[in-house]
Amino acid sequence: MTLPSKSRALIAILAPLLLIIACSKAKPRQYSELGQKGTTGAHTEENCPVHANEPMGELKWTTPTGWKIKAATGMRLASFQTGNDLDCSLIPLSGEVGGIPANIRRWLDQMSVNIDAKDLERLCQGVPKSTSKAGIPYQVVDLTPYTGASGESIIVSVSTFSDVMLFIKLKGEKAKVLADRKAFLSLCDSLSR
């Protein structure tokens, strides 16, 4: 059976179109990449310049008095049980973690606190830069003023190294977070190599 010429023409036009639009499944690819010095994809947010230093290397710290060391599981470098029974952890994460503004927004989301872009920018600009006694830079993001009196709150220290960002998190009931704040800051201050 032969098809009419118009039908053949229609098929001739449709077939390549279907071929063009057919989805192709992703295939593995290979490329050579310079080491960590080569790319720094994390430094993309202008509002909160971050510390960019050497690689993190092996860090040391002093456990605050009254805190208990817990097993460091999963991604954690260390875990503590604070004097007020809160959980505090040291978590190193690679560069693709969205910078400080994105993290502040995420933490506030976790606390069910809404923040508009201007307030976020203001908050970011107000994040102080500090260094530990041994010269390790860190920035403490204290979100206790932004959370309700009875709910959960969080204080996070962020140290940006050339290979990872180190987060030290203290999260829990706001009153307890405030009570543990001083010890938390002493932990940040004790960071050394």
Partner 1 sequence: MNNERRAKIHSLASGLLKFLSGGTLTVIGLCVLLVLTIGGTVYQVEHGLYQAQKDYFQSWIVLLFGFLPFPGGQLTLWVLTLNLILASAFRLKRTTRALGLHIIHWGLILLLVGSFISYRFGQESQVTLFEGEQANVSVDYRLWELAVWSESDPARMVSAIDFDGLGAGDKFTLGTLPLTIKAAYPNARATANGLEAVKGGNPEQRLPGAILAFPGGAQQLVWAGSEPQALILGGVTYRLALRRIRYPLPFTIRLLQFKKETHTGTSMAKSYESLVEIHQGGASRQVRIYMNHPLREAGLTFYQSSYAEDRGRQSSTLAVVRNVGWWLPYASSGLIFLGMLLHFIVMFYRKVVRHETAD
Among 81, 83, 84, 97, which residue sits at the site for partner 1 (rule: CB under 8 A)?
97
List 142, 163, 180, 189, residue binding partner 1 (CB under 8 A): 163
The count of C-alpha atoms lying within 13 angstroms of the C-alpha of 164, restricted to the half-sphere facing its C-beta, is: 15
3-state SS, residue 180: helix
**CB 182 to partner 1: min, Å:** 25
- Among candidate residues 110, 168, 175, 113, the one with its CA nearest the CA of residue 141: 168
- What's the CA gap between 90 and 157, in Å, rounded? 9
Return the range that interacts with partner 1 (CB under 8 A); candidates 60-68, 72-80, 118-126, 178-186. 72-80
Q: Counting contacts by CB under 8 A, is residue 14 touching partner 1?
A: yes
Binding segment toward partner 1, per CB under 8 A, in 50-58, 60-68, 150-158, 182-190 = 50-58
Q: Are 123 and 115 in contact (CB under 8 A)?
A: yes
The position carrying tokens 């977070």 is 177
Instruction: Give least dist CB 136 to partner 1, A.
Output: 14
Question: Residue 181 burial by CB count (10 A; 0-12/13-18/19+): exposed, middle or buried?
Answer: middle
Tell me if 51 contacts partner 1 by CB under 8 A. yes
The answer to whether the CB of 88 falls within 8 A of the CB of 168 is yes
Question: Where do the H-state alpha helices sit in 43-160?
Answer: 99-110, 117-125
Instruction: Establish if 94 lies at the interface with partner 1 (CB under 8 A).
Output: yes
Q: Is position 106 an interface residue for partner 1 (rule: CB under 8 A)?
A: yes
Under the rule (CB under 8 A), what is the footprint of partner 1?
1, 3-4, 6-7, 9-10, 13-14, 17, 20-21, 25-35, 37-46, 49-52, 73-76, 79, 91-94, 96-98, 102, 105-106, 109, 163-164
